[in-house]
Structure 1
Amino acid sequence: MVGDKLVLQAQQWVNSVYGGVAGYTPIPEDGKTGWTTVRALIRALQHELGVAPLSDTFGPATMGTLTTAWPVIDAATTNQNIIKIVQSALYCKGYNGSGMSGTYDSTTSASVTRLRTDMGVEGSFPPGVVPKVFAALLTMDAYVLLSGASPQIRNIQQWLNATYITRRNFRVVPCDGRFSREVQKSLLLAIQFEIGMDDETATGRFGPGTQAGLKDQAVLGPGSLDQAKRFVRLFQAAMRFNGWNVPFDGSYTPAVADAVAEFQAFARLLPANGIAGYQTWASLLVSSGDPTRRGTACDCVTEITPARAFVLKVEGYGTVGRYLTNAPGSSLNKKIQPGELQTITSAGLSAFPIYQTSGHTRDYFSPEQGAQDALAAMEAARDHGFGRGTTIYYAVDFDALDSDVTQRIIPHFRALATRLRHFGGGYPIGVYGPRNVCARLASEGLTVSSFVSDMSTGFSGNLGFPLPADWAFDQISTITVGDGDGAVEIDNDVASGRDPGQSLFAPPAPPSRPLDVGFAMSRRDDLLRDLTGYLDSIGVREMPLIWPNSTEHALDLVLAHDALITGLSRIHRMRKALIQGPIFWEIRKLTPEDALADLAVTAYYGYRTELEAWEALPPDQRLDVPMPTPPFVLKEDASTGLGQIFARTAIAAHNHGIVSGLIDERPLDPDDWHVTQAVWRRLREDPDHNISTVPLVLINGAHESGVGGDPLAYDTTQLGEVLARYNGTGAGAEQYGHELSGVYAVFEKYNASLR
């Protein structure tokens, strides 16, 4: 589909004129504005200027040559291609390019004037397209307010352009109402100009000169005004960019001081006195803030020994972040060591868990990896003794672009959250990463707390992003504390108090038997042969008219969910075959009557919904609306989904799981038809949820049958009773349990060989 026809015209023109020029690559002619088109126009301009080799960057050579050759492009310009490049770029920006006439006519002039006004620079230059305006035109920056953006921020952006555009190394910044790294750099440049830096030393970096200048010249408080210097406005801009609603008028009023005190309290800048001193400036301008300030939390890859714990306590630290696991294949032993958490708590410290095996590149993040991480992190947290309710911080340890967050990180964390719910929840999800990653995951409802990697000041996800509202730990520097046996290198973290860490640890007893692992798919055919042989031996042969699902189909569905079933067996510490058996059996023995029962239940709840709506009508309106007719068969519940589970059975298992501490959810009311409807629908429509309910049904069945002991060590009698109870009670259930025990034995044969 072709986009904007005027952008298409620009693409066709630049390809036709420059397609044969060395260093120019023809671009798609699709009418879609993007960097591909903009960079093609930059190369076209460079060719007209004689700049070689051609490049995608409007750099110093392009700027210098343009300034010399055409200090202004206007009606006096005779090079039609230069004017057409301007007109093409205007179209890409959404302005009228006058049909790409090649003449700087009144329409082109009006569009340029409008563009310069939107930039805030009209009146700063002679009329026409001056080099800095041309450079800004050949970007993807917007100069109009974007949807959902802030008019106040746009006002500041335009003011920055109007005030500082004549400085040599200050380029036009976007005027779109959004805080970004370009805007952050422009603010730092403006501060450096006010400090008194010349065009050589003003770089837009928060270096020693800038820091010294702020300490010496820019301590602000109530009564401060912009006069010879514009520090108040620049400070107000920094507050605005970080999300704090203050005026932008150059006057530091008591109301501004109150807002500053709120920011200081939020960022844990002490004292929160409303005075704009160096640390407050630093926290607004760079992600690490003042890296020399000491936090009250830390994290490290080194074991905390008694000597190190003593040093940390003396140095004012109260909480220590430690790693749940090591990275596969790494020689670095960074994980929590036996007895270490007791050492930490004995010193009066608390601990919080970090999960990281890699996370250093975008390629690590995927839904599949997220699901794997859920099991590994939950098992490790439990085995170390971290209790339910403890937030685990999953690491995103690289400079993630916004596109990486959308395409890789959010799907990863969504799968992580889903799989943790299947395992019963209980361990809230936190994230370690740059500000943008933390904020976006929180906005998706995927995390509850952020551990911000703010000492990575150059990360694109930190530049131009405020401190996330849900921050718990803010990593600002790496330091070494102590000496001798107590010396330890740590990441120095500011703590918000949102997460106090954990101070009591109760690791569970090790499992009585080795836990199961993933199935070796190379043995699939052998397993199928043995299952077929067993079913044949008990008379359960392939009979499509009675049992439409073949043995092969049933097995493949079970194996398709092997990772989830393996995780459930490990989390609930039961034999994997105990979950595989009922699921396989119910799929294999599914009959057409089961499908009819599902239809009957669906019709019943449809009727109940219509009836409720009818009963909610005012009495006088009911006369005009016929009362819904009940279905011929009133069926409230039926076994459904892969595990063929009744809604009431699932609710009872769910509630028992809560009482037993297996899951972290709210109890369900089986007498509320809205609840049974929602449970039944989810059992039917969500295979993973249905599967995750199977072990809860087995555990509740064991409880109701009086079967105690360790599920990993069930004897034959206990096993038969638990499997029978899955089907109910009575002779039919006993027969069910007897036959299903053979299916269990086949699966167990293969699982045991892999343990």
Structure 2
Amino acid sequence: MADEMVLRAQRFINVTYSNGALLGIPKLEENGRTGWTVMYALTRALQYEMGISSLSNSFGPTTLAMLGEKYGKVDETTVPSANFCRVIQSALYCKGYDGGEIDGTYNSRVKAAVAKLNLHMGVDGTYPGTSLWPKVIKGLFNMDAYVTVNDGSDTIRAIQRWLNGRYILRKDFYVIPCDGHHSRDVAKSMLLAVQYELGMADGVANGAFGPGTQAGLKSHTLSVGATGVWAQLFSAAMVLNNRAVAFSDSFSSGLSDAVQTLQSFLRLPVTGLGDFQTWSSLLVSYGDQTRKGEACDGVTAITPARAQALKDAGYKYVGRYLYNPSTTSLPEKEIQPGELATIKQYGLRCFPIYQTWARSVDYYSVRQGVVDCMNAAYKADQHGFKAGALIYFAVDYDAVNDEVSSHILPYFKSIRDQMNRMGSPYRIGIYGPRNVCSRVSAAGYAETSFVSDMSSGFSGNLGYAMPENWAFDQIVTKSVGSGAGALEIDNNIASGRDTGQGDFDAPPPLKQDIGFDLSYLEALATEATGYMKSIGRGEQSNNIYTRRQCLETILAQDDVITAVARRYRMRKALIQTTAFWEFCHYGTEDLLKDAGVVYYYTGAIPDWAADMPGVNKFHDSSTGIAQTQGVTAINAWNHAISKGLVEGTPLNASDTRPSPDADRYKMWWRVNQDKAFDAQTVGLIHIWSAAGKKGDLQEEAPMRAPALDYTSSEIYDVLRRYQGYVEPAYSDATLRMPLYDIFESYNAAIRGA
């Protein structure tokens, strides 16, 4: 919303400084809205009025030093010019304070605004009165707020004001925001405060968690009954790490209880004391880097010697990469042949990581999420990870909050949606800074977080608490082992939320199918539709779709079909043949029966069938792209659930009561509406059929489950069983076999035999 006084401030800059020309900037947009562009212009105007020749957006050390040297403080007695005062008045307005009409006079309204500003900053005790001191002016010329905003915490604001008031006279301490939110500046100010209380001189205290700071903290363990500034700093650090405690100068029993909860959460020794490891975890993201982790990750293959070295060093869980697009860089980054068998042999467990580039915001998009999800799932299956493994998708750069909103969240939503579409073969985790992990997880796009806390300078780590769902906490790079067992790893603390996998599927003896190559589309369409035409199937008077439309619809589900085929070690052609054949036969009589099913369960004829004559009630029909009956789909899914092939709750195939809540209708509706689900269901029906079709009107003798090396007779039997046990199922299966061969010939060419 436009503010009249901000508009006047913008107009003042444009009129006084030749539409920005004198300040080296473009003309300001006069819209009455403050922002960094306005604050930068005001900073340059202040420098201009002070006689600084080289103007800058930054309110840096030169500007600050010259303010002190020239004026000491600014008030009605020292303000050098009317325009200088107007710049101050404009800045006050842009901060939400009454600047006094921008009339160039340091009047009573300006004085009242300055007094309020000092109070809000928490420096009124150090700077009483109505004068503006250099560090306060520096704080005035930025976008920091000094009142609680955006649902901020009043307790955090109290800490911020306390820090400002106690340390503002120290050389390298500047006014921090008092907005009720933890941030990078607040985190650094806490480290400076610790260093000041340790007695470090200005110039030595630098806000870094170095050896001197660590040594000092080791001598400041706090326990119940401790009082004073150290207890106050510790309680402040607890509050800033999302612990529900009071900001107090007393280490109470209640604070000790909260410390124990935090220590348990972070997997620290549970002492209830404000000890060094707890101080470290509160002040820097990586905490005490000497901690021994049970997990590690790296880009080096785990050989027998290295596995033994890791085991000897106390490691249980090893993070390894599913994929490396480079053929030259980091040649062992991707899991190597036989490596998972070695990990299993030595009693270790592995958690998979997916990262190709992922080091800038431009990488992340909805489309990239689809590609990465498919590739990660295929690679996880190829390497031997069993269904349900957590794959950690990486955000390996310092993503700021706006980028998380604009790029990272849509990317992970795309991964989640694609994984669901493919039948959820694997679960989704995230690797990244704290803020990224927390936001993606809160949105429901990741189950667990692998936190890149080693990157302590990331804005996404500074000022953010540990994600509640953290599984691994990456704290330091170190070397393990010697000789043939030597390797460099990232040392990770493990929470126990993810223990990886310790058993893996053996690689299949034959190549599995991969995604369809669209360069083969026209050739496949010519053969597949031509064959159907030659046998007189499809595009009859009652058919709804052309053969080409049917084929393209099936190929649009290729990601799902590929995922199902790879997961259950069957050929894609089994699913493609069945779905394409059935869809080519979908006609007006099927549409009429579909309308009848809706009519039966809901009591109303659907709008799309309102003009169709003779809609009769049916409790089931062959529907969807693969002409799947609700009862058949329920039997197939129930079988898969019972065998642990999929997760879910079994449905009652005999529940055909006339209600939208009937189990038969719920399954029928899903295969009718969800093409991806229907394609997945075809694969499960083939598995159920091979197992003997338990629950069907006529069960059959069990046969070998669908496999990559199915013989022609096995392919025929599974295709026939899908259609039933009476004619024309047998004769149609004979006709389906050449169609299977067509699909398989293209799949074989694409996968490389």
Look up the match of 1:178.
181
**Which residue in 2 is equivalent to 1:20?**
21
Report the CA distance between 1:235 and its aligned residue.
Answer: 0.9
Residue matched to 1:260: 259
- Residue in 2 aligned with 1:712? 708
Alpha-carbon distance in 1 for matches of 2:361, 2:206: 30
Flag structure 2 segments of 5+ consecutive residues without an equivalent: 605-613, 694-699
**Residue among 518, 521, 545 paired with 1:549:** 545
2:48 maps to: 47
Spell out the pairing of 1:371-520 with structure 2 (5 A cutoff).
371-425=370-424, 427-503=426-502, 505-508=503-506, 510-511=508-509, 513-520=510-517
Equivalent position of 2:611 in the other structure:
none
Tell me the equivalent position of 1:318.
316
111, 121, 124: which one pairs with 1:122?
Answer: 124
Q: 1:722 to 1:34 in 2, by over 3 A?
A: farther
Partner SS for 1:581 = helix
Q: Show the 5 A alignment for 1:692-711.
A: 692-703=680-691, 704=693, 706=702, 708-711=704-707
**Structure-2 residue corresponding to 1:221:** 223
1:669–1:3 distance in 2 versus 1, CA, 3 Å: farther
| Alignment map for 1:553-564 (pairs within 5 Å) | 553-564=549-560
Pairwise CA distance, 1:207: 1.8
Deviation at 1:176, TM superposition (A): 1.9
Aligned partner of residue 251 in structure 1, secondary structure: coil
Deviates more, 1:457-466 or 1:422-431: 422-431
CA apart distance, 1:103: 4.3
Deviation at 1:655, TM superposition (A): 1.6
Q: What displacement does 1:201 show?
A: 1.6
Q: Given the superposition, is the C-alpha separation of residues 46 and 602 from structure 1 closer, same or farther in structure 2, using an over 3 Å criterion?
A: farther
Identical-residue share of aligned pairs (%): 45
Change beyond 3 A, Cα 1:581–1:41: farther
1:220–1:641: structure 2 CA closer, same or farther, 3 Å change rule? same
- Residue 665 of structure 1 is matched in structure 2 by 648
Secondary structure of the equivalent of 2:491? strand
What TM-score do the two structures reach when normalised by structure 1? 0.87
TM-score normalised to the size of structure 2? 0.87
Contact preservation (8 Å) 1:382, 1:508: no
Which whole-Å deviations, capped at 9, do the CAs of 1:354-410 have from their partners, x for residues lacking one?
333333333333333333333443444445444444433333222222233223332
For residues 542 and 4 of structure 1, the distance between their equivalents in structure 2, rounded to whole angstroms, comes to 67
Q: In the aligned structure 2, how far is the partner of 1:435 from the partner of 1:582? A: 47
- Alpha carbons of 1:632 and 1:580: their partners in 2 closer, same or farther (altered >3 Å)? closer
Shift of 1:71: 4.6
Looking at structure 1, the residues matched to 602 and 71 of structure 2 have their Cα atoms a distance apart, in angstroms, of 74
Does structure 2 retain, via aligned residues, the 8 Å contact 1:24–1:54? no
Using the TM superposition, name which of 519-528 and 230-239 deviates more: 519-528
Matched, 1:650 2:633: yes
Distance in 1 (CA, whole Å) between partners of 2:665 and 2:26 is 60
The residue type paired with residue 420 of structure 1 is M
Q: Which amino acid aligns with 2:514?
A: V
Indicate the residue corresponding to 1:152 in structure 2. 155
How many Å separate the matches in 1 of 2:264 and 2:505? 37
2:277 to 268, 276, 279: 279
Q: C-alpha displacement at 1:205, in angstroms?
A: 1.5
Note if 1:196 corresponds to 2:193: no
Query: Which residue of structure 2 aligns with residue 613 of structure 1?
Result: none
Alignment correspondent of 1:627: none
Could you tell me which amino acid in structure 1 is paired with residue 487 of structure 2? V
Residue 640 of structure 1 deviates from its aligned partner by: 4.4
Q: Shift in Å at residue 155 of structure 1? A: 1.4
Q: Is the 8 A contact 1:707 1:722 kept in 2?
A: no
1:189 Cα deviation (Å)?
A: 1.3
AA partner of residue 19 (structure 1) = G
State the shift of 1:24 in Å.
Answer: 0.8
Describe the shift of the 1:369–1:664 C-alpha distance in structure 2 as closer, same or farther (beyond 3 A).
farther
Q: How far apart are residue 3 of structure 1 and its match?
A: 5.2
**CA shift digits 1:608-644 (9 cap, x unpaired):** 9xxxxxxxxxxxxxxxxxxxxxx98544444444444
2:527 equivalent to 1:533:
no
Following superposition, the deviation at residue 732 of structure 1 comes to: 4.7
1:36 partnered with 2:37: yes
Q: Could you say which residue in structure 1 is the equivalent of 2:140?
A: 137
Contact 2:690–2:705 (Cα < 8 Å) also in 1: no
Given the alignment, which residue of 274, 287, 290 partners 1:289?
287
Give 2:180's aligned amino acid. Answer: G
Query: Match of 1:712, SS?
Result: coil
The separation in 1 between residues aligned to 2:592 and 2:134, in whole angstroms, is 74
Stretch of structure 1 that moved more, 568-577 or 184-193: 568-577
Q: Is the 8 A contact 1:383 1:508 kept in 2?
A: no
Structure 1 residues 8 and 489, CA gap change in structure 2 (3 angstroms): same
Partner of 1:239: 238
Paired residue secondary structure (1:167) = coil
Q: Which moved more, 1:95-104 or 1:359-368?
A: 95-104
Two-structure CA RMSD over aligned residues (Å): 3.3
What are the ranges of 5 or more consecutive residues in structure 1 without an aligned counterpart? Answer: 609-630
Deviation at 1:146, TM superposition (A): 2.8
Residue matched to 2:208 = 205
What residue number does 2:62 align with?
61
Deviation, structure 1 residue 283: 1.2
Comparing 677-686 with 172-181, greater Cα deviation is found at: 677-686
2:746 maps to: 750
Whichever residue aligns with residue 318 of structure 1, its letter is K
What CA deviation, in whole Å up to 9, does each residue of 1:496-528 have, x standing for no partner? 23333444x2423514x4322333323333333
**Deviates most, 174-183 or 127-136:** 127-136
SS in 1 for 2:258: helix
Q: 1:306 aligns with which of 301, 304, 307?
A: 304
Indicate how the Cα distance of structure 1 residues 667 and 418 shifts in structure 2: closer, same or farther if over 3 A, else same: farther
Partner of 2:351: 352
